[in-house]
Amino acid sequence: MNSFKLMGKTRGRLASMLAAASVLTLAGAAQAEETFKLGVVTFLSGPAAESFGVPAANAAKLMVEQFNKGSAPAPYNKAGFGGMKIEMILVDENGGGAKQVQELRNLYQRENVDAVIGYVGSGDCLAVAPVADELKKFLVLFDCGSPRIFEEASPKYVFRTASHAAMDNVSLVRYLKSHNVKVNTMNLINQDYAWGLDSRGDFLAGMANAYPQAKMGADLLPKFGAGQYGTEVSVLGGKQADITYSSLWGGDLQGFLLQGAARGLFKDTTLVLSAADHVLPGLLDKMPDGSIIGARGAYGILSAKSPINDWFQASYQSMHKALPVQAGYRMTQAFMGVKMAVESAMAKNGGRKPTPEQIAEAMRNSTFDTPGGQIRMALGDGHQAIQGTAIGKTKYDAASKRVLAVDVQTFGAECVNPPANMKSMDWIKAGFPGAKCN
Amino acid sequence: MDAVAYASWLFIVSLGMTLVFGVLKILNMAHGSIYAIGAYAAATAVALAVSLGLPPAFSLVAMLLSAVAVAVTVGPLLERGLLARYYGRDEVVLLLVTYALFLMLEDVTKLVWGVNPYYVSEPAQLFGNVLFAGMRIGGYDLFLVGLAAVCGLITWYVLNRTTSGKIVLAVIHNPEMSASMGVNIQRVYVVAFTVGVFLAALGGAFTAPMISVQPGLSVSVIIISFAVVIIGGLGSIQGAAVGALVVGAARSLAVHLMPEIELFSIYLVMAAVLIFRPEGLFQSVKARLI
Amino acid sequence: MNMPLLSARGLMKRFGAVVAADNICIDIPAGQRLSVIGSNGAGKTTFVNMVTGYLKPDAGRIVLDDHDITRLSHQAIAGMGICRSFQIPMLCLELTALENLLVAVAAAEGRQSLWQAADRPAARDRAVALLEKFQLQSYAGRPVMQLAGGVRKLLDIAMALARRPKLLLLDEPTSGVSADEKFPTMERVMAAMQDEAVTILFVEHDMEIVSNFSERVIAFYSGRVIADGSPTEVMANPDVRSYVTGGAK
Amino acid sequence: MRSNRSLFMALLAAIVLILAGLLAPAWLQFLVTMSAANGLAVLGIVVLMRGGGATFGQGMFFALGAYAAALVPTWFGIQDAVLRIVIGTLVAGLIGALFAPLLVRYRGIFFAMLTLALSMVLFGLLSKSSLLGGSDGISIAKPTVLGMSLQSGNAEYVLYCLTVVVSVVAGWLVSVYWNSAAGLMALAVRGNPLRVEYLGASARRSLGTSFVICALLGGTSGAITAQALGHVEPNFSNWTTSGELVFVAVLAGYRRVPAVFAASLLLEIVRSFSNLYFPNTWQLALGVFMLLVIMFRPEGLGSLWPVAARRQVDPGTAVPSPTEGQP
């Protein structure tokens, strides 16, 4: 039985694919001159879509529109990327790191994009970073938190234009301390995957310095996307604690808050949430007042007033009928960083479309201002950004039907980020040596 | 206690799944998606009710109605329009059909309701919470337990105490035979599937107030109700009840005692049950083959 | 005296209230062709199922060549040389007649090779030979699902014969075969058995077939052996007349 | 003699594909590599299906192979891709052999669900163990292939060739097994296990054999995928992974080996394009595609190719191959 008859057919299919491919590549080459093809990868489906993916995608759309019109404020007022029209290809991040590697290869090798901005999930970032380096293509990670990416490897073509997760928890701890919040006992609830576990680790290490006497109550690790927290709520209710720390986000956080509130869990404990701003618009009055929240940066209601921030909020508001939250800010940072890098690279190479090497060279150690404050590519040999952040307390304002932030304290970049020569965990354990706070 | 609350939620969801399997011999993966749809529908309905200025108590009715609506629209459509075309295929193939259906419904829900979350915590607030043995218990949880009990009892009663129910049992036992005795199998199938859909939607609808309704709801539901149904024994109602309790207990024990195994405690239980009682806790022995 | 090939001693089996086997004692000498008769529910098939290990008796022993096989699995018993055919033929409907026999031949080998072709000459010749024994060669390439009931019956028996069993149990070999086909079918079966050194027990309703093809007849009634002897003796037995043949004809 | 012919066909296919690969752009080489790698896992499922088993836990062996291939470099400093593949395969096969005796006691949906449970337990373990990178998984050092080191230039093509060779060899071995006595026995067990036992053969052992082969192929697949991606993650063991693999298996049917790889390639193409061009509805597209295939190609793609002309031959002399299907 000639069991390999089909291989002939496969070859036929290969041939036809070839044809398709060459067409694609030609097309790519033809446009390459006047346009800059930019792949943008973020969650368009799945649990992270609503909290991070879609706001980020919205911000990306806004940036493309504004940049191409050249209507962004200086220094971003040059049309497109250095005159080149930005052509965006939006890809869904849902489906796991393995799939992302394939999609990224497709973007670079089939769609011939000039650069890729993307990735919310730490796992995805870890998976794709080596690929970009292998293919020698330019990649900017805009959101994912895990410090591992630049502390365990030093990719050449990969950058992250936002602080890693260490900052979120360090700033929380500093805030607790500087507001003399009494913490004798603490409950923790974090998701049972990298983000939750890392955040928990950072926070505990930080607390060990700031509050050596603080005792651990419950330390729960519900599974990602659990949705139902009945059991957790009663465990937490059983162990009274001064604060309840959580790095939950999105639907899980909303679910936890709703179910906890329904059972009066937060009446006598202060919520300390490392990344909560994006759930406030949905929760409104269900968000317990006085909860201490971070936004993984000086974003949204925690952001500082500045012309560029006002412009961003206004234009985002008008385009998407909502206030931008953390993911939107972070996407914007990435766009602005790339724009700056591309344009300074073009200034050097005489206005030609820069190669990935040139863009990378220009981005390394660069500094640029964004709605979320100044970004400095200071860590990981100039590939990892540090930025300032802010923490605040929530207060529901019935009049405007919005949750506002009060007692907002902002932290300088050097205050909450490790120095270039230290791994974040060591730095936290060592008690933040060399941190510059004012 | 919360074990029971969780279990009762599980029961409502997996009851539908086990019923559908019992009658149609289909292990329905799309069950989870329907659960999600139910949640969305409830969210919409309650929002509507509130906007119409109806009393909050009415939101419960609204949720019920939404579940019914989902059932009568989605149920017959899927069964007649889709599944009916695949009857007589291998169990596993049918499983795949529903898997495909699940993928489709995932996107359909996204197209209909978008990716933004919906909140309907009003009903949950209706009940406030009661202090019990030093810890607060959501009145809504108690309500859910009651709801589950009612669902279970009604199903049991209909199946065992009414003629139409007896017909269904007959079909479960032996479709060919009952067909030859003039039972309208098609109708039984449609009804059974619709009821299954209704229970899934109901589960979703009454969970909606406790969570934020948004994409990604369905997957966990599928797996966990699989586990329940397998543990209880495919197609067995009291089995679903016991299975739900077992899983609920296993989970909350895990959370209370050793949180680190919570992630897969359920599968351990399921594997254990399958090893010691392959046909699940409640499953009649197979007929003689020769 | 020569000891029997198979001896069943005091077999008991009850399903709830129904007594399917009540202290059954049967010895089968090697080479005998015997038949078992009895009305439906008399316990014929139950007996066959106990001998072939599908059912385990509540009490009693079954001995084959002085090995106790009472507690062995049906598979192990088949391995020891008791094979059977079925009232409703048990075949692989998707496979062809020849393939079904190749399965039987492969099964007879004990451990099946992972790389030797299933229809390598040796195996194929054996399979074809079996087909020819039952004059089925013309169906070789046809999927079983396309074959008529009578052909399936013969195929089922041919498969049972593949491992050259010591004892072959045929469960109603002519049931589901049209009346005028019954005789020719039995003729073929018996012809096929000629040069096989096999002891045959077959369950049958049809008295003519019983008296024509068996040298010994055992009559069952409600789980008990009510008569055991030559066809003529058994037919003459009043109990048999009232309970079995009388009922049958 | 038949096996010789299929061996010849296999060699031919390998050569043709390797040459065709030269013409293909990098992304296509990679796409084929991935689909062939998945194809191996699917082939495993198909072998099991053909032997009367159904699994929803193939992801487990996929993950075992992948993690094995990912860990041997760091733990034992094994750099060679081929060696890693061998190890990945063996590890998966070993675990498969450990569980086989337990699993073969079940059939149909219970068998499937038990495999599902096992793979999800592995998923849990992998997501927990920070040593193995937790839920983020771990990256793998680029392998060397028979001494060659991979640069960005040749990496895709070398891996492509390696995968083609492995797949063709595996495919040929499977076709030999399908023609073998054990292979025929597997078909019989699928059709009528009780009868097989009444013939004195062990249906369980046959099913066990199919399962172990399934595990081995799953491991191979995982090991190749891991090195092609340069990254492994617990998701490999998640039920969704298994679900897609099973789908491809059904898509391919159990008639012909090449159909498996064709189906895998087809799905890979559909997926990668639909995901890129309609990101918001790619699941929908996939679902519809699945339904249509199940509806119109119940026998899978394998039935697209007319079975060799044996039905026309005079049945008396015809000697059908056990592995060829019925019309």
The pLDDT value recorded for residue A358 is: 93
Residue D20 contacts A where some CB pair is shorter than 8 Å: yes
Encoded tokens for D26: 């990098």
pLDDT of residue D318 exceeding 60? no
Q: What are the backbone angles phi and psi of residue A200, rounded to the nearest 5°?
A: -55, -45
Residues 244-273 of B with CB under 8 A from A: 251-252, 255-256, 259-260, 262-263
Residue A90 contacts B where some CB pair is shorter than 8 Å: no
pLDDT category at D276 given cuts 50, 70, 90 is: low
Encoded tokens for A89: 């290809």
Give yes or no for a contact between B124 and B212, defined as CB atoms under 8 angstroms apart: no
Chain-chain contact of B211 with A254 (C-beta, under 8 angstroms): yes
Chain-chain contact of D258 with A110 (C-beta, under 8 angstroms): no
pLDDT digits (tens, 9 = 90+) for D6-62: 788 888 888 888 888 888 888 888 889 999 999 999 999 999 989 988 888 899 999
pLDDT digits (tens, 9 = 90+) for B171-194: 777 777 777 777 788 888 888 889
pLDDT of residue D100 exceeding 70? yes
The pLDDT value recorded for residue D308 is: 40
Q: What ranges do the domains of chain A cover?
A: 30-164+305-387, 166-303+388-429
pLDDT of residue A12 exceeding 50? no
The pLDDT value recorded for residue D163 is: 93
Report ipTM (2 d.p.). 0.81
pLDDT digits (tens, 9 = 90+) for A147-162: 888 888 888 999 999 9
Burial (CB count within 10 angstroms: exposed 0-12, middle 13-18, buried 19+), residue D146: exposed
Rounded to the nearest angstrom, the minimum Cα separation between B283 and chain C is 19
Nearest by CB to residue A255, choosing from B3, B212, B215, is B212
pLDDT of residue D311 exceeding 50? no
Residue A414 contacts B where some CB pair is shorter than 8 Å: no
User: Which segments in chain C show pLDDT lower than 70?
Assistant: 1-2, 246-249
- The least confident of A217-226, B40-49, C92-101, D224-233 is A217-226
Rounded to the nearest angstrom, the minimum Cα separation between B248 and chain A is 10
pTM confidence score: 0.83
pLDDT digits (tens, 9 = 90+) for A316-342: 999 988 889 899 999 999 999 999 999
- The subunits that touch chain C, with at least 3 C-beta pairs less than 8 Å apart, are B, D
Q: Which residue has the higher pLDDT, D40 or D159?
A: D40
Rounded to the nearest angstrom, the minimum Cα separation between B30 and chain C is 32
Query: A touches D (3+ CB pairs < 8 Å)?
Result: yes
CATH superfamily, with its number, for domain A166-303+388-429: Response regulator (3.40.50.2300)
The pLDDT value recorded for residue B131 is: 62
The pLDDT value recorded for residue A25 is: 46
Chain-chain contact of C99 with D322 (C-beta, under 8 angstroms): yes
Q: Where are the beta strands (DSSP E) in A163-221?
A: 185-189, 215-220
pLDDT digits (tens, 9 = 90+) for A174-232: 999 999 889 999 999 998 788 888 899 999 999 998 899 989 888 888 877 666 787 78
DSSP A369: E
pLDDT of residue B234 exceeding 50? yes
The pLDDT value recorded for residue A362 is: 93
The pLDDT value recorded for residue D184 is: 92
Distance of CA A280 to the CA centre of its chain: 18
Residue D281 contacts A where some CB pair is shorter than 8 Å: no
**Cα angle: C41, vertex C44, C47; to 5 degrees:** 120
Nearest by CB to residue D106, choosing from B85, B96, B278, is B278
Nearest by CB to residue D191, choosing from C74, C92, C114, is C92
Say how far apart CA A146 and CA D114 lie, in whole Å: 35
Classify domain A30-164+305-387 by CATH architecture: 3-Layer(aba) Sandwich (3.40)
pLDDT digits (tens, 9 = 90+) for B253-275: 777 776 666 666 777 787 777 77
The pLDDT value recorded for residue A24 is: 46
Burial (CB count within 10 angstroms: exposed 0-12, middle 13-18, buried 19+), residue B210: buried
Give yes or no for a contact between A304 and A373, defined as CB atoms under 8 angstroms apart: yes
Percentage of residues in chain D having pLDDT higher than 90:
32
At position A166, the amino acid (one-letter code) is: A
Q: How many CB pairs under 8 A join C and D?
A: 136
Chain-chain contact of D229 with A17 (C-beta, under 8 angstroms): no
Q: How many CB atoms lie within 10 A of CB C194?
A: 7
Residues 212-251 of A with CB under 8 A from D: 224
pLDDT category at B129 given cuts 50, 70, 90 is: low
Chain-chain contact of B106 with D239 (C-beta, under 8 angstroms): no
At position B21, the amino acid (one-letter code) is: F
Give yes or no for a contact between A410 and A178, defined as CB atoms under 8 angstroms apart: no
Chain-chain contact of C108 with D196 (C-beta, under 8 angstroms): no
Burial (CB count within 10 angstroms: exposed 0-12, middle 13-18, buried 19+), residue A32: middle
Average pLDDT, chain B: 78
Rounded to the nearest angstrom, the minimum Cα separation between A75 and chain B is 33
The pLDDT value recorded for residue A28 is: 42
Q: Which residue has the higher pLDDT, A88 or D129?
A: A88
